[in-house]
Amino acid sequence: MKYIENISILIFLIICSVSDIKSKKIYLRWCVFFLGAGILESIFFDNDWKVKIFFGIIPGLLIYAFSIVTKGDIGRGDAFVFMCIGVTIGIIKSMEIFILGLFFTVMFTLPYSIFRHRNLKISVPFIPFSLMAFLTISLIPLF
Q: What percent of the chain has pLDDT over 90?
A: 53
| Distance between CA atoms of residues 93 and 85, nearest Å | 9
How many folded domains does the chain comprise? Answer: 1
Q: Which domain holds residue 135?
A: 2-142
| Distance between CA atoms of residues 21 and 123, nearest Å | 11
pLDDT digits (tens, 9 = 90+) for 36-83: 998 998 888 888 888 989 999 999 999 999 999 988 777 889 999 999
Query: Which residue type occupies 61?
Result: L
pLDDT at 16: 94
Going from the C-alpha of 19 to that of each of 55, 92, 140, the distances in angstroms are: 27, 26, 27
pLDDT range class, residue 142, cuts 50, 70, 90:
low
| Distance between CA atoms of residues 85 and 59, nearest Å | 9
Q: For the chain, what is the mean pLDDT?
A: 88
Residue 63 near residue 78, CB atoms below 8 Å? yes
Query: Which residue type occupies 140?
Result: I
Give me the helices (H) in 70-90, please. Answer: 76-89
pLDDT digits (tens, 9 = 90+) for 23-32: 988 999 999 9
